[in-house]
Chain A
Amino acid sequence: MIEKALTGSSKYWAWMAFLAVLVGIGALSYSQQFQYGLGYTGMSRDVSWGLYISQFTFMVGVAAGGVMLVLPYYIHDFKAFHRITILGEFLAIAAVCMCLMFIIADLGQPMRLMNVLLHPTPHSMLFWDMIVLNGYLFLNLLVGWTLVHAEYKSPHRPVPPPKWIKPFIYLSIPWAVSIHTVTAFLYAGLPGRDFWLTAIMAPRFLASAFAAGPSLLVVMALIIKRVTKFDAGQVAIQKLVTIITYAALMNFFFIAMEFFTAFYSNIPGHKATLEYLFWGLDGANSLVPWMRFSMFIGAIAMVMILLPKTRYNEKTLGVACGMLFISLWIDKGLGLVLGGFVPSPTEYITQYYPTAGELAITVGVWAAGFMIVTVLYKIAISVRLNVEN
Chain B
Amino acid sequence: MDSQRRKFLKMAGLTAVAGMGAPAINMLLKGEVRASETEASTAPALPTKSVKRLGMVVDVNKFGANPGLAQKCVEACHSIHNVPDFRNPDGSIDKKDEVKWIWAEKYEHTFPDASQYKRNVGLEELPVMTFCNHCDDPPCVRACPTQATFKAKDSGIVMMDYHRCIGCRFCMAACPYGARSFNWRDPRPFIKKLNPDFPTRMRGVVEKCTFCAERLAVGKIPACVEATGDTKAMVFGDLNDPNSEISKILASTFTIQRKPFLGTKPSVFYII
Task: Name A residues whose Cβ lies closer than 8 Å to a Cβ of B.
Answer: 36-39, 42-46, 48-49, 103, 106-110, 112-113, 115-116, 118-128, 130, 186-187, 189-193, 269, 340-341, 344-348, 350
Contact present for B259 and A192 (CB under 8 Å): yes
Q: Given the known A-B contacts A107-B167, A122-B22, are A38 and B175 also in contact in the complex, defined by CB atoms under 8 Å?
A: no
Chain B residues near A109 (CB-CB < 8 A): 165-167, 204-205
12 A-B pairs in the complex with CB atoms less than 8 angstroms apart: A38-B167, A45-B96, A45-B172, A48-B173, A108-B167, A108-B183, A115-B166, A121-B147, A126-B145, A191-B264, A192-B177, A347-B108
CB-contact partner of A345 in B169, B170, B175, B263, under 8 A: B175
Q: Is B164 an interface residue (CB 8 A)?
A: yes
Chain A residues near B169 (CB-CB < 8 A): 48-49, 106, 108
Contact present for A346 and B95 (CB under 8 Å): no
Chain A residues near B170 (CB-CB < 8 A): 124, 126, 186
CB-contact partner of B97 in A39, A269, A345, under 8 A: A39
Task: Name B residues whose Cβ lies closer than 8 Å to a Cβ of A.
Answer: 11, 14, 22, 25-26, 29, 95-99, 105, 108-110, 112-113, 130, 139, 142-148, 164-170, 172-178, 181-186, 203-206, 259, 262-264
Contact present for B204 and A107 (CB under 8 Å): yes
Q: Given the known A-B contacts A39-B96, A109-B166, are A347 and B262 also in contact in the complex, defined by CB atoms under 8 Å?
A: no
Q: Given the known A-B contacts A48-B172, A119-B164, are A346 and B112 also in contact in the complex, defined by CB atoms under 8 Å?
A: yes
Query: Which residue of A has the minimal Cβ distance to B15?
Result: A120
Give the docked Cα–Cα distance between A355 and B115 (Å): 36
Chain A residues near B178 (CB-CB < 8 A): 45-46, 344-346
Give the docked Cα–Cα distance between A118 and B166 (Å): 12
CB-contact partner of A46 in B26, B95, B176, under 8 A: B95
Query: Which residue of B has the minimal Cβ distance to A37?
Result: B203
- Max chain A C-beta neighbours (<10 A), residue from B11, B98, B169: B169
Give the docked Cα–Cα distance between A347 and B22 (Å): 34
Give the docked Cα–Cα distance between A360 and B109 (Å): 36
Give the docked Cα–Cα distance between A43 and B167 (Å): 13
Chain B residues near A130 (CB-CB < 8 A): 145
Give the docked Cα–Cα distance between A304 and B269 (Å): 58
